[in-house]
A and B are shown apart, each in its own frame.
Chain A
Amino acid sequence: NAGVTQTPKFQVLKTGQSMTLQCAQDMNHEYMSWYRQDPGMGLRLIHYSVGAGITDQGEVPNGYNVSRSTTEDFPLRLLSAAPSQTSVYFCASSKGQGVNTGELFFGEGSRLTVL
């Protein structure tokens, strides 16, 4: 059972380049989200989705774009990379509403460095 799969695991970009972090889950979860993890700041929510075709912004959405065309996939796009986006990115999913909301299943992370 794969769970939540993120690719790539590591990426180095130059300032201004764009890229997409991929996230796929095979648990038929309605809710998917992207977090970034930075030292001393914990995890901060970038974007989330409550189902196919529905996305919304989290705490730190600027510079990122998302879409949810299928239940399984939730890619995160960096439009024009900046050094401030150097971070570890985590995709997470859950069954959705109520008591299931906070039970997140995480991918292994994608470490991004922007030069």
Chain B
Amino acid sequence: AQSVTQLDSQVPVFEEAPVELRCNYSSSVSVYLFWYVQYPNQGLQLLLKYLSGSTLVKGINGFEAEFNKSQTSFHLRKPSVHISDTAEYFCAVSSTGGYQKVTFGIGTKLQVIP
């Protein structure tokens, strides 16, 4: 079984400040890791993914995440946020190999304050 824990349900941050959204996962097998973003009244869209190789992954809109196997973490970061980054962010995990179900965290609402 696999699970995802997002440690913060809401994160307020001022515009142009840096932000980190935390994600920890649990799995007994190798995993792929993902961050999705959901803007108000929309579906989710993929922000970035870690499959293998370099532990620092860059995604769209200036976001990046770092995979830390020893700490089972996959935190999302952006050095300078914009008002348009206000959204809900979901961390997700799937096992490697074959058809595997995707498990999502409960989400973190990022509120960018002007």
What residues of chain A have their CB less than 8 Å away from a CB belonging to chain B? Answer: 4, 30-31, 33, 35, 40-45, 48, 50, 58, 90, 92, 96-99, 101-104, 106-109
Whether B102 lies near A45 (C-beta < 8 A) is yes
Question: In the complex the two chains form, is A101's CB within 8 Å of B102's CB?
Answer: yes
**Shortest distance in angstroms between B71's beta carbon and chain A's nearest beta carbon?**
20
Residue of B9, B44, B45, B49 contacting most chain A CB atoms (<10 Å)? B44
Let me know if B98 and A41 touch, CB within 8 A.
no
Count contacts on B: residues with CB < 8 A to the other chain: 29
Known contacts being A42-B106, A104-B46, A106-B45, is A97 close to B92, with CB within 8 Å?
no
Q: CA A102 – CA B74 in complex, angstroms?
A: 15
Contacting pair A103 B99 (CB below 8 A): no
B28 at the interface (CB under 8 A from A): no
List residues of B whose CB falls within 8 A of some A CB. 6, 9, 32, 34, 36, 41-46, 49, 51, 90, 92-94, 96-107
* 9 extra interface residue pairs, beta carbon distance < 8 Å, beyond A90-B43, A99-B51: A42-B6, A44-B104, A96-B99, A101-B94, A101-B100, A102-B94, A106-B43, A107-B43, A108-B41
User: Which of A40, A50, A102 is close to B102, meaning CB atoms less than 8 Å apart?
Assistant: A102
Q: How far is the CA of A58 from the CA of B102 in the complex (A)?
A: 10
Chain A residues closer than 8 Å to B92, beta-carbon distance: 102
- Whether A40 contacts B99 by the Cβ 8 Å rule is no
Nearest neighbor of A30 in chain B, beta-carbon distance: B99
CB distance from A30 to the nearest CB of B (A): 8
When distances are taken between beta carbons in the complex, the residues of chain B under 8 Å from A4 are: 43
For residue B34, which residues in chain A have a CB less than 8 angstroms away from its CB?
102-103
* Among all A-B residue pairs, the 5 with the closest Cβ atoms: A106-B43, A42-B106, A102-B94, A43-B104, A50-B99
Contact B98 A102 (CB under 8 A): no
C-alpha spacing A98/B49, complex, angstroms? 13
Which residue of B is nearest A41, CB measured?
A: B106
Contact B94 A90 (CB under 8 A): no
Q: Is the CB–CB distance between A42 and B44 below 8 Å?
A: no
Contact in complex: A31, B99 (CB < 8 Å)? yes
